[in-house]
Amino acid sequence: MAERVGTFWHMLPEASQARKAIWEAVDPHHGRRRIDLAFPHALRETTREQEMMIRFKNGSTWQVVGSDNFNSLVGSPPVGLVLSEYSIANPSAWAYLRPILEENGGWALFIYTPRGRNHGHDLLNAARGWPGWFAETVSADASGVFSADDLHRIQAEYETEWGVDQGQALFRQEFLCSFDASIVGAYFANEMSAIDTQGRIGRVDADSRWPVYTGWDLGQDDATSIVFAQVYRTGEWRVIDYYESNGQGPDHYAAVLRQRGYDYGGHYMPHDVEQQHFGMSGTRRQMFSSLGLKNIVTVPSPRGAVAERINAIRAVLPRCVFDADRTNRLTEALRTYRREWDDKGKTWRQTPVHDWASHPTDAFGTLAQGLREPRIQSGRGAPHLRPVSADWNPYDRSVA
């Protein structure tokens, strides 16, 4: 910031988290706010508490932001970007900001602990082979910060507090930088681990003999997600495609479906498709129907719908194969979707964390609920699902 006048951002996964962890955080060794230790007041021109921004006397600005609201920020684009806890941040933030930094000759720094084999894992592996990038992994036993006795004690404490299995997984993740440890609190950790072990993520194209079903999560101020899958009479699910966008109307998503060119058997949408959207003369269902979407099925949202949706996903994941390229964001979301931790009560809440992973997961859950509930099947109807046999080969279409 001293060498180049410009805008610099320190980004955490959520803006509210950024305020607590960075802007308001007090260094326990000095008893002062971290930002005051990092940026002495003698260097500053102004400090804007509400915006979490510091303007320096040389003209540079530094601001704390969240990956959940990066596209709502106004002003000069950043020339320097720190993505802290990137492994649980919205990966779209980097996809959106990368062209800006490329154009203005800026830089980015990613600091995070592993959260399973998600976008953080992929970025680290790719960065090791990219010219102009630096990548390093430093585990606690190699850092020199902790002794062997310290680490042994800490692991034992984790196992006591969290149970042996989860305590070991959390210790390996947080202290040993293990990408193989499941995300703590992840709903579908076992199912996604089995999918990886069995090689059920690869090349999965649409089969022209069978219709494609879509599952939706409808956003208003946030993302709308669409999952595309083919379901076979033998029970297999071929998840062939995924699409997500933000701030678009029904006409945009209808155009996306037409461009995909699939033979659609039905579109499973959440209960809010029956609501009137701002600026529309009718409900979103009516709008989608007028745009040519047929066989729209409304999936009810009864009391306990979140738990039902999670159970529906768990029931179908053992049947699924995923296309590695087209559904990458969906599979990352399924790995990341996790329970919310109540730090005060030291227990898991019944509600999941609402972040970028919620939209893809909810869309998949809507499809899973819709296809397994006979009372809401309509139109061409959903396949009758049977258990998958023990010798099932997910890539053998001859038994479809």
The angle formed by the CA atoms of residues 28, 30 and 31, to the nearest 5 degrees, is: 65
Helices 305-316 and 358-372: crossing angle in degrees, nearest 10, is 80
Average pLDDT, the chain: 85
Predicted confidence at residue 117, as pLDDT, reads 77
Predicted confidence at residue 272, as pLDDT, reads 86
How buried is residue 333: exposed, middle or buried, by Cβ count under 10 Å (0-12/13-18/19+)? buried
Whether residues 161 and 205 share a domain: the answer is no
Residue 384 falls inside a structural domain? yes
Residue 75: both structure tokens together: 């002003």
Predicted confidence at residue 343, as pLDDT, reads 63
- Average the pLDDT over each of 32-36, 186-190, 242-246 and give the range with the smallest value: 186-190
Whether residues 88 and 145 share a domain: the answer is no
Q: Where residue 221 falls among pLDDT bands split at 50, 70, 90?
A: low
Whether residues 159 and 58 share a domain: the answer is no
Which structural domain, as residue segments, surrounds residue 305?
A: 201-399
Q: At which of 156, 185, 214 does a domain end?
A: 185
Residue 374 falls inside a structural domain? yes
Whether residues 217 and 174 share a domain: the answer is no
List the CATH number of the domain containing 273: 3.30.420.240
- C-alpha distances out from residue 83 to 93, 271, 286, 328, Å: 9, 36, 42, 21
Which tops the pLDDT comparison, 41 or 388? Answer: 41
- pLDDT at residue 209 greater than cutoff 80: yes
Residue 286 falls inside a structural domain? yes
pLDDT in tens, 92-128: 889 889 999 999 999 999 999 988 778 898 899 999 9
- pLDDT at residue 198 greater than cutoff 80: yes
Whether residues 84 and 146 share a domain: the answer is no
Determine the average pLDDT of the residues in 175-192.
Answer: 82
Query: Running DSSP on this structure, what letter comes out for residue 172?
Result: H
Whether residues 175 and 241 share a domain: the answer is no
Q: At which of 111, 130, 152 does a domain end?
A: 111
User: Of 55, 56, 57, 90, nearest to 72 (Cα)?
Assistant: 90
CA 307 to CA 359: how far, in whole Å? 16
Whether residues 169 and 272 share a domain: the answer is no
Whether residues 227 and 86 share a domain: the answer is no
pLDDT in tens, 236-287: 899 999 999 987 888 999 999 999 999 999 999 998 888 876 566 788 899 9
Predicted confidence at residue 387, as pLDDT, reads 40
Predicted confidence at residue 340, as pLDDT, reads 80
Predicted confidence at residue 156, as pLDDT, reads 95
- pLDDT at residue 75 greater than cutoff 90: no
Cβ count within 10 A of residue 196: 14
Residue 196 falls inside a structural domain? no
Predicted confidence at residue 390, as pLDDT, reads 42
Residue 25 falls inside a structural domain? yes
Whether residues 219 and 365 share a domain: the answer is yes
Structural domains counted in the chain: 3
- pLDDT at residue 84 greater than cutoff 50: yes
Cβ count within 10 A of residue 346: 8
Which tops the pLDDT comparison, 311 or 165? Answer: 311
pLDDT in tens, 348-393: 777 888 888 899 999 999 999 988 754 344 444 444 444 434 444 4
Return the amino acid letter for 124. Answer: L
Whether residues 49 and 162 share a domain: the answer is no
Whether residues 240 and 339 share a domain: the answer is yes
Residue 330 falls inside a structural domain? yes
Whether residues 37 and 68 share a domain: the answer is yes
pTM for this predicted structure: 0.65
Residue 193 falls inside a structural domain? no
- Cα-Cα-Cα-Cα dihedral sign, residues 144, 150, 156, 158: negative
Residue 73: both structure tokens together: 């920020």
pLDDT in tens, 136-155: 999 999 999 999 999 999 99
Predicted confidence at residue 368, as pLDDT, reads 94
Return the amino acid letter for 320. Answer: C
Residue 98 falls inside a structural domain? yes
Say how many residues make up the chain.
Answer: 400
Of all residues in the chain, what percent carry a pLDDT higher than 90? 54
